[in-house]
A and B are shown apart, each in its own frame.
Chain A
Amino acid sequence: MKSKKILIFGFTKSAIEISTQLMAKGYDFTLIDNDASLIPTAEKLGFNLKILDYTDDVLLKEGIGENVNFIFTLFDDDAKNVFLILSVKALDPTLHVIAITHTKDTIHKLEIAGASTILDPYQISGKKIYKLITQPEVMNVIDATVFGYHDLNMEQITITKNSLLNQCMINDIYPNDAYNLLIVGIHDKELKKEFIFITEGFNHKLDTGDVLVVIGQTEEILRYKKDFNL
């Protein structure tokens, strides 16, 4: 089991999908809902559902416990998600909360409430369908590769202090014909911007803590990491 404490609030279809994916990757997580009638369904699907009245701050604090890495709020009701984020953030403002939204209006409310990231299934579906109509080949390739039907993976590589890439300029290390890898972009620790695509054209100096996002076969990524002491 991977050592990250993950709590998933709301036993919904999105929660089932995320739980399935986490389970397959060996993550430990706790599924929580306040509706006891969902227990048989959860058990049928092989999940252990914990019942907790999240509207009670004392119970919520107990339920969350210490050292939580991620909290998912995946209720079908946007109001519940907003309320839960506010409750969680009131207990510990540093917590990472990933929320789902069902209406366009709620996105901004979830941001104000303090959600670290917002999953918008409608937006994603809509854009994927649009891409399928306008650029079917692109969507087929992304689905078949990045979304994992084949052994191509998208991975992040953190530049360590002793890495050979430390203090190198990105244009000097990429492209590199010796490795069948694509560097999609970089997360510069000094810059606040979350992710910069390589196509932005900036020649970044790689420092300790910077993160490269690469696409390639797992063995190739491992070889790259090994060769550059990452």
Chain B
Amino acid sequence: MDFFISLLVRFAYFIDSSKRYRRTKEFCRTFLEHPTSKLKFYFDLFMVVLVILSVLFLLYEVKTPELHPFMDFFINASLVIFVIEYLLRLWIYSDNHKIFLERYEYALDNRVTFSLFQTIRSIISKKLEYIFSPLAIIDLLAILPSYRPLRFLRIFLLFRIFKLFRYARSMKTFTTIISEKKFELFTLAIFAGFVIFTGSSAIYIFETNVNPKINTLFDAVYWSIVTMGTVGYGDIVPVTTEGMVISMLLIIFGVAILAFLTSIIVSSFQTKLVELKESRTLADIERLKNYILVCGYGRVGEVVAKMLHDDGYAVVIVDTDAGKIKLANQRGMIGILGDASKSKLLGQLGVGKRASKVICVTNSDEMNVFITLTARSLSKDVDIIARVVKSHHKKKYLLAGANFALSADETIGLMGLQYVDQPISYAALNEMLTENTGVVFESLKIHEKSYYVNQPLSVLKLQEKRLLLFGIVRQGIQPTDFLTYTIDDKIFYFNPPSDFLICQEDMLIIMGKKHHINILKKQSDKRPLK
């Protein structure tokens, strides 16, 4: 027995460490269950077509037992696919080797005897949990109508239609609504049951010997339900005055119950629709790569998001105000209603994976610091830029992990001083910061194959191009013969002379009109001089 257990343990460890096994299972999970996977979307679409066609062929078979060989083949092929799908779902539902190893390691750690029987029981009970889940039962029953020797199994054809619930999201929403409103619906059902029971009993008592159409209690119940539903087939009608009074009361109660039922479902639908929309938006975000997350859509958020969006960057906005999110959506941006300080939401949005930059621009320092910390706890690599509301809180942002913390008041302070001290310089500084006149500061990176590598600055002919070189940022040791400043780990050469040699990886900081800078950039991208 010990030898057998040891073999099983080895096998479990082998499975656990097998990359191929893990990859295959992960692929199947994505394929069958991942809500935002594209593969799942195509698979679901394929299954919906398969279910509808197979149901149509089986319905056709009811009156025409001799099917066309193609139809026959199709029904058999769909059966095979349904069986494979069922088995795959059963397989991915739980990891047997993990249950086995968990119990084995628990036994080792706590020095208790490992029970193989108990372990197998846990594994089977986990699988049974799936087998007896509603959707799995539908899956199983949907396979049965294809079993030709037992013709009565055709009734399970209905379950194949129910199988569509698994693939269509809107149908799932409907089942969710029903399950979420269980209590309300149950209460209403009890009340409706009570009305039906009372109505049926009353009509049975008053009319059973008078009305030839009401002979059994079943007839009475049938009449009650038809009357309550205000259908009125007319096959059974009351003939006594008492019966007529009962039918009038039943109609009134019936309308009231139907109205209640409708309102419960409609209100639930409305709530659910918002969630459904959100989940669709999340699916859209999942498809984005390297996007910028803007937390807070106030005035600062609006400015940043608009400029980035206009520049073609993928931007996602998170705000707790539904009105602001609506506005962002109207402006063609993706907006999510939610609290960006929640790790769950930022995790869902892929901070550090798909979202490469996070901008915290709410109007509260507490919130911005909290979002910064949350984003940093999710990823070490994500760039976090935060707006500091009260400048004395700036240090807290840096402690929380922000890469940059910007205080508007600090800038306002400097600009206010500049206005008093040197109003013309202020105008220049204001234009430089706001770029309202079209003059911008831009950086130009000298890549390996740039035309300018190893060329003196004079080659750039900046004056001709109406550009101004503010300086050059270069990685390296601080030289002594130039006016340089250390910025982070780089050296900034201020206003270098015309014979200054441009090197690969240099970053030129240029001022001028955008189209003039673009001309310089184009020239830089040409082949190097020989």
What number of residue pairs across chains A and B have CB atoms under 8 A from each other? 214
Write out the residue numbers on chain A whose beta carbons fall within 8 Å of the beta carbon of B25: none
A38 at the binding interface (Cβ < 8 Å): no
Are B425 and A154 interface neighbours, CB within 8 A?
yes
Write out the residue numbers on chain B whose beta carbons fall within 8 Å of the beta carbon of A175: 463, 498
B385 at the binding interface (Cβ < 8 Å): yes
B242 at the binding interface (Cβ < 8 Å): no
Are B416 and A124 interface neighbours, CB within 8 A?
no
Are B417 and A25 interface neighbours, CB within 8 A?
yes
Are A142 and B424 interface neighbours, CB within 8 A?
no
Among A51-59, A82-90, A191-199, the one that faces the other chain is A191-199
Are A17 and B385 interface neighbours, CB within 8 A?
no
Closest residue to A179 on the B side, CB-wise?
Answer: B495
B178 at the binding interface (Cβ < 8 Å): no
Contact with A along B465-495 (1 / 0, CB 8 A): 0111011010000000001010110001011
**A178 CB → nearest B CB, Å:** 11
Within 8 A of A (CB), among B445-478: 463, 466-468, 470-471, 473
B518 at the binding interface (Cβ < 8 Å): no
Write out the residue numbers on chain A whose beta carbons fall within 8 Å of the beta carbon of B417: 18, 21-22, 25, 27
The tally of residues in A whose CB lies under 8 Å from a CB in B reads 72
Are A154 and B404 interface neighbours, CB within 8 A?
no
Within 8 A of B (CB), among A182-213: 182, 184-185, 187, 194-195, 197-201, 211, 213
User: Most chain-B CB neighbours within 10 Å: which of A21, A22, A150?
Assistant: A21
Closest residue to B423 on the A side, CB-wise?
Answer: A156
Are A180 and B483 interface neighbours, CB within 8 A?
yes
Are A135 and B442 interface neighbours, CB within 8 A?
yes
Write out the residue numbers on chain B whose beta carbons fall within 8 Å of the beta carbon of A124: 408, 411-412, 415, 433-434
Q: Which of B292, B387, B416, B463 is the one whose CB lies under 8 Å from A18?
A: B416
Are B421 and A25 interface neighbours, CB within 8 A?
yes
A145 at the binding interface (Cβ < 8 Å): yes
B275 at the binding interface (Cβ < 8 Å): no
Are B308 and A130 interface neighbours, CB within 8 A?
yes
Whether A199 touches B413, Cβ cut-off 8 Å, given contacts A128-B433, A152-B485, A182-B468, is no
Write out the residue numbers on chain B whose beta carbons fall within 8 Å of the beta carbon of A129: 300, 304, 359, 361, 385, 387, 406
Q: How far is the CA of A148 from the CA of B497 in the complex (A)?
A: 23
Within 8 A of A (CB), among B371-409: 385, 387, 389-391, 404, 406, 408-409
Q: Which of A117, A133, A156, A187 is the one whose CB lies under 8 Å from B385?
A: A133
A140 at the binding interface (Cβ < 8 Å): yes
**A120 CB → nearest B CB, Å:** 8
Are A126 and B412 interface neighbours, CB within 8 A?
no
Are A211 and B419 interface neighbours, CB within 8 A?
no
A4 at the binding interface (Cβ < 8 Å): yes
Write out the residue numbers on chain A whose beta carbons fall within 8 Å of the beta carbon of B429: 146, 154
B255 at the binding interface (Cβ < 8 Å): no
Are A132 and B406 interface neighbours, CB within 8 A?
yes
A70 at the binding interface (Cβ < 8 Å): yes
Q: How far is the CA of A103 from the CA of B302 in the complex (A)?
A: 12
A32 at the binding interface (Cβ < 8 Å): no
A→B interface (CB under 8 Å): 4, 6, 13-14, 16-18, 20-22, 25, 27, 69-70, 72, 98, 100, 102-104, 117, 119, 121-135, 137-138, 140-142, 144-148, 150, 152, 154-156, 175, 177, 180-182, 184-185, 187, 194-195, 197-201, 211, 213, 215-217
New A-B pairs, 11, CB < 8 Å, besides A140-B487, A187-B427: A6-B420, A21-B417, A126-B300, A128-B433, A141-B473, A141-B487, A141-B492, A177-B498, A184-B432, A211-B424, A217-B483
Pairs A–B under 8 Å by Cβ, sample size 23: A16-B409, A17-B409, A21-B414, A22-B416, A25-B417, A100-B412, A103-B299, A117-B426, A123-B303, A124-B411, A124-B412, A126-B303, A129-B300, A129-B406, A134-B311, A140-B487, A141-B471, A141-B473, A152-B485, A184-B468, A195-B424, A199-B467, A216-B495
B→A interface (CB under 8 Å): 292, 298-304, 307-308, 311, 313, 357, 359, 361, 385, 387, 389-391, 404, 406, 408-435, 437, 439, 441-443, 463, 466-468, 470-471, 473, 483, 485, 487-488, 492, 494-495, 497-498, 507, 509, 511-513, 516
